Amino acid sequence: MSELDLTIRELAERLDGTLEGPGEARIRGVAPLELAGESDVTFVADARHAEALAETRAAGAIVGEGVGAVGGLPLIRVGDVNLAVIEALGMMGGDEDLPPSGVHPSAIVDDAAELGDGAAVGAGAVVAAGARIGAGAAVCARAVVGADVEIGEGTILLDGTIVLRRCRIGRRCRIGPAAVIGGSGYGYHFDGRAHRRFPHVGTVEIGDDVDIGAGSCVDRGKFGVTRIGEGTKIDNLVQVAHNVSIGRACILAAQVGIAGSAVLKDGVMLGGQVGVRDHITLGAGARAAACACIAQDLPDGAAVAGMPAADAVAYLRGARQLLKLPEMNRQLRQLDKRISALESATDH
C-alpha cells in the first residue's frame, strides 16, 4: 500500500469535506485513534468517541457532524465518516496487488479466449477456450477461468480463484483467493449398494458488484442456475449449494451454509455460521443472528436467532431465563426442604 502524501487541505478537498483549522500538515496514512502517528489522519464517526481525540497524536481527523472541535487539531468534517475513510484508503492504492495489464509470460491463455482492453492475466493463471474476460478485469496469479466463462468489466479474480465452465460473473465483482465458482453440487442417490453422484449440468450467474470472500464455494445448479444478485457481499468460507437463489444486496458473514434450492430474497442478512436448510425461502430483509439454524420459511423482515431459529426477541428472553435456572433450582430445593419440614411437624 502506498502513502497518501497530501496536505490536510488537499485531502479535505478530495473528500468533499469542510476543513476546520490549519491545513498545511502533510498526511501520509490513515489510522485509528490508538494507532495514529504524527503523519496520519484519524477518524471519529460520532460524539461517543470524541473525547479520545484529545489524546491522539494524529495530524488531523475526519469527523462527523456531531463531533466538536478539540484544541487546535485540524478537522475534516464530512457527512459520512465511513465513506470518507473508504475513499481515503482507496487513495493509498487499496489492499490488493493486482497484475499489470496484459498476459504474464507464465500464464496460459487459449487462442480462442477473448481479453478486453486493459485486462490482466497474472503469473501461472489459466484461461480456457471460449472464455471472455471484460475490459479492465484482472485474473490474478494461479487463478483458473474455465471454458466459455464470462467475466465482466473491472472484475477481480484474486490468487487461486477457480471459475469453472460456462459460469457468468458480472461487472466490478471481487472474488477472493481460493474461492471456487461452479463446482459440482452435493447430490447423491443410494441405489442399494453405493451412493451414486448426480451430474450437475447447470451453471452459476453472479450479478454486478458482488464480493465473495476467500475459500467460499458457489456450486453450479443440478439443472438451471445458482444465482447471486447484484450488490450482495459474501464473507470468507461460505457455502452456497446448487440451485440456491440469493437476491440483491444480501449480506452473508463467515461460515454461512445454504443448502440446495433455498431462496434468499433481497436484503437478507445472515450472521456468522448461520445454517439454512434446503428448499425454504427467507423473505426480503430477513435477519438471522450468528449460529442460527433456519429450518422453515421466514416472512419479510423477520429477525431470528437460535437453534432451531425462532423470533429473536423471544429467543433472547428465553436464553436469559436459562441463565437463571441454577438459582431457581436452588430456591426450589430450599422450598422443598421447608415443605417437608412443615409436613413432618404436622404429622406429629
What nine digits make up the cell of 161? Answer: 480463484
Q: β-strands 174-175, 195-197: how paired? A: unpaired
What nine digits make up the cell of 321? Answer: 431465563
Q: Residue 232 class from Cβ within 10 Å (0-12 exposed, 13-18 middle, 19+ buried)?
A: buried
CA distances from 63 to 50, 82, 163 (A): 9, 10, 42
What nine digits make up the cell of 200? Answer: 450437475
Give which of 282, 239, 243 is closest to 261, Cα–Cα. 243
Contact 292, 276 (CB under 8 A): no
What residue type is 165 in one-letter code?
A: R
What nine digits make up the cell of 148? Answer: 466459455
Contact 107, 121 (CB under 8 A): yes
Contact 231, 207 (CB under 8 A): yes
Question: Does residue 308 have a cis peptide bond before it, meaning omega lies within 30 degrees of 0?
Answer: yes
C-alpha torsion 28→118→227→239, nearest 10: -50
Q: How many other CB atoms are found less than 10 A from the CB of residue 28?
A: 16
Give which of 168, 170, 174 is closest to 203, Cα–Cα. 168
Catalytic residues, which ones?
A: 242
